[in-house]
Amino acid sequence: MSKMRKFIVAGFLALTSLALLGVVRNPDIYFLIKKNFTIFSEVYRTVSLEYVDEVDPEKLMRKGIDAMLESLDPYTVMVDEAQQQNMEIISRGSYGGVGLDVGFRGGQIVVVAPIEGYSAHRKGIRAGDVIRKVDGVSVEDLMPEEVQELIDGELGSTVTLTIKRYGIDSPIKFELERQRVEVKNVGYAGLVGDANNMGYILLNRFSKGTADEVRKAIEDLTTNNQLDGIILDLRNNPGGLLEEAVGIVDKFIPQNQMVVETRGRQSKHNNIFATEETPVLPDMPLAVLQNGGSASASEIVAGAFQDYDRAVIMGEQSFGKGLVQTVTQLSYNTALKMTISRYYIPSGRSIQSITYTHDDANSAVVKPDSLRKEFKTRNGRTVYDGNGIAPDIKVDNKEPSLLETSLLRENLFFDFANQYAATHDSLSEPFGSDALYDEFTAFVSEKDFQYQTPSEKHLAKIDSLLNGIEGEGKEHIQELESVIGEKKEQQFIRKRSDLEKRLYLELIARYKGQQGQTAAWLPHDKAVNEAISMLQDNEQYNSILAGSN
């Protein structure tokens, strides 16, 4: 037998073996599924019918499903009927509601912000209003998401909210019509910098229509304005639709460039997504802001820009989510959101920071630095896999002082803004007003505001050890407590600038909404200001992207 013939026969046998292996493996999988499903159904039926205490079969099954999925990863979950709206917001970019965002403040459900143009805003509901009832049902023991589910519903139907407003003794009832609320992915777009020569775009999420919103924002910013750069803010953006992330990159990078590749267990989940459109701004200097809350689609955008050396990434390390989910509709208006692949950005790296072992509920292993692989950007800069996207310029987020945190925890900025809005038709006082700050500190004093410093906690422990013993030690403690008390009072002077910023933002929200609040904050945003400075310095910008720094 010739060598060629032997080679062909050997190849045929190898292929036949692989085919047989596939035939054998698949029946094994299906047999195991059938076997264990039979066992599970027998246990479920027996427990539901014969357990000593009566059990709810639906809750029992849901716990079993949730426990099974928790062993995989935190992103693979059952979506029940009540949670479908969140999926609708992402996939359709809209939902049926009255245009309200609600949240917790001081143990109460309050209106965070009414969305302009919808029934809640048109009927006069304000930020800071406390929601008491929804269609006559008390919301006292409900979570914000549960209240949101009661408020939202079928298009064209009505819902009645009972509101408590500061300065008005009796509750107010509002009958609101539910309509299709279009979700705004671009939270704000405007000009920043002393010369108004930088464009700023705040992106909140990646639901349907995001890329078109960003294109519109770019067109609005560049019309009649000579821009020197664009700042794309992805801080606290949890992600969303992968296709929309690709559509964002489209606006800044030439056609036919790979943005992300997905690789899964099934070949149908292996795809390469590339830019398709002619970029709107192929050359304009670009800065991307991110932090630990920037995940998934946000990291695809930041990672693609970094790998192509198209933008300077600024801020903090991103979250590190490199897993892709798809939603499969199930019976009874439920769905399964399941991880089906991992994604890899243009340099070939994965940004997934955690490996899930599938041993216990969400059991995970963080990839150590020693095992992280090195990759190269287009210009040869070194980047690493396995821990999100590292910023090119690190900008630490300033943590609020203990005083500011305590005031926030007690909702005193929020409550003062409600009181002020109830007694003032407009915000006439400018930022930094002595009169406004004095009014706020007087308000805080009236509320008998107290907070404890670490030094006071330490002294309290020492005092308890002395167990009430009088003497020189006790006198020293009292002297120290007096000194600490004086320094705490001085904090309202030393931290005035930070407290004024927080106070003014809360007040702006009452009169100008979220858009006005964002615009008022930008001049004080450290990361935004550093991005402006960097974009104005062409030498620094080009040096970073060239890998010279």
Domain boundaries, the chain: 3-55, 94-182, 197-397, 402-451+495-530
Give the span between the Cα atoms of 163 and 302, in whole angstroms: 42
Q: Are 305 and 291 in contact (CB under 8 A)?
A: no
382 Cβ neighbours under 8 A, 6+ residues apart: 374, 375, 376
pLDDT of amino acid 457 = 66
Phi and psi dihedrals of 394, rounded to 5? -80, 130
Length of the chain: 549
Share of the chain above pLDDT 90, in %: 55
Residues with catalytic function: 296, 307, 321
Give the span between the Cα atoms of 165 and 135, in whole angstroms: 18
Q: Which CATH architecture has domain 94-182?
A: Roll (2.30)
Query: Cα dist. 278→248, 252, 261, 306, 310 in Å?
Result: 12, 9, 21, 20, 15
104 Cβ neighbours under 8 A, 6+ residues apart: 110, 144
For 38-94, the pLDDT digits (tens) are 999 999 999 999 999 999 999 999 999 999 999 999 889 998 766 666 666 666 667
CATH node for 197-397: 3.90.226.10
Query: C-alpha angle with apex 428: 426 to 430, nearest 5 degrees?
Result: 135
Helices (H), 495-537: 496-521, 526-536
For 174-213, the pLDDT digits (tens) are 999 999 888 889 999 999 999 999 999 999 999 999 999 9
For 403-440, the pLDDT digits (tens) are 998 898 888 998 899 899 988 989 888 888 899 999 99
pLDDT tens, per residue, the chain with 549 residues: 454 444 434 444 444 444 444 444 566 888 999 999 999 999 999 999 999 999 999 999 999 999 999 999 988 999 876 666 666 666 666 778 898 888 887 678 988 778 878 899 888 898 888 999 999 999 988 888 888 888 988 888 999 999 998 888 889 999 999 998 888 899 999 999 999 999 999 999 999 999 999 999 999 999 999 999 999 999 999 998 999 999 999 999 999 999 999 999 999 999 999 999 999 999 999 999 999 999 999 999 999 999 999 999 999 999 999 999 988 889 888 889 999 999 999 999 999 988 887 877 767 777 787 788 999 999 999 999 988 999 999 998 878 888 998 898 888 998 899 899 988 989 888 888 899 999 999 999 998 888 777 666 666 666 666 665 555 556 666 666 666 667 777 888 999 999 999 999 889 988 888 888 899 999 989 999 999 999 999 999 999 999 865
